[in-house]
Amino acid sequence: MNALRPHREPEPHPTPPPIGSEEDDGLDALKGAARSLGFRSIGVARAGRSPHADRFLAWLDAGHHGSMDYLARKVERRIDPRETLPGAQSVVVVSMPYADDVDFPTDGEPDRGRIARYARGRDYHRVMEKRLKRLSAVIRDEARFRTWYTVDAGPLLERDWAEAAGIGWLGKNALIIDPEIGSWFFLGVILTDRLYPADPAIADQCGRCTRCLDACPTGALATARTVDAQKCISYLTIERSEPLTAEAGASLEGWVLGCDICQEVCPWNTRPARVSPVIDPDFAPRALPDSLETLGSLDRSSFLEHFSGTAIVRAGAERLAENARAVARAQRGRGS
């Protein structure tokens, strides 16, 4: 679960051209440009009401968003991209993998905390936004068309559109699973009034597997594809607005920021036939401090010295230190 940032408004375009009914023949050029910019996958879906809008609305009604009140704002824009970019015809979705083979603490190292893999390289917002801006220029074709783009930052249901655009299917862990590389990747989205041919969706291939649901230590995955954020370790360590309770702190399972458990147990991430994608140098894992003692005593200066330029900065020094102290208390309570 990654935080939202201020959204990108549509690029200025004083006199939008009329929208035709014929699909654009520039799709091959678009996909070639995307891959030259380092995106691994690119797909297109027809703009409209989000495929799982009703499920999102029910999720909000159930209070599963916890204290993330921003998710309940701009709801019409979240469930229909045409509210953000009037006249939108296509939703272009891209992916960029991040490294999954990082040095993680083991059960025999209780003095080390776990930091989710996505956060261990350069902040993905910074990396992908620059490239989406360049890809948007290709789509606009010298101001013939309009665009709007976001990386986990605007009122848009990115995973819905990634599924619709054929990037992968929505797994039971509520993450998009690419059948070749699994789920270790970031998503970016561009809306445009340019009409591209839509890509076919990929059929759900989770089958009867429930490993992610069974492995979640807090029961956040109460049902397939539905996350109760208030129980999710990623929410507890990053998004929560309230103080960390003793009970919640004891449930972190060694995680001081984020959680990868539902991805670690997914067969699509561990199967022998899985393709190991090329990882952009910006996402190369950094050697981050993970000593609970060190993390628990961070001040702002030392925090920025270690984590500047990563997505960890959003959590802040105080929250990361609080998480580390909670994990340390839990470890002591278990007699480690």
Q: What is the pLDDT of residue 14?
A: 35
Q: What is the pLDDT of residue 109?
A: 87
pLDDT band at 13 (very low <50, low <70, confident <90, very high): very low
Per residue in 142-178, pLDDT (tens digit) is 999 999 999 998 999 999 999 999 999 999 999 999 9
* Amino acid present at 307: F
Residue 20 CA from chain centroid, whole number: 33
Q: Cα(89)–Cα(197) distance, rounded to whole angstroms?
A: 10
To which residue do tokens 């397939």 refer?
224
Q: Which residues contact 243 (CB under 8 A, 6 or more apart)?
A: none
Q: Cα(129)–Cα(136) distance, rounded to whole angstroms?
A: 10
Q: Tell which residue, 321, 313, 258, has the closest CA to residue 125.
A: 313
Assess whether 103 carries a catalytic annotation: no
Catalytic residue among 24, 123, 152, 290: 152
The pTM is what?
Answer: 0.91
Residue 10 has pLDDT above 50, yes or no: no
pLDDT band at 333 (very low <50, low <70, confident <90, very high): confident
Residue 135 has pLDDT above 70, yes or no: yes
Dig out the tokens for 10 from the structure.
């549509």
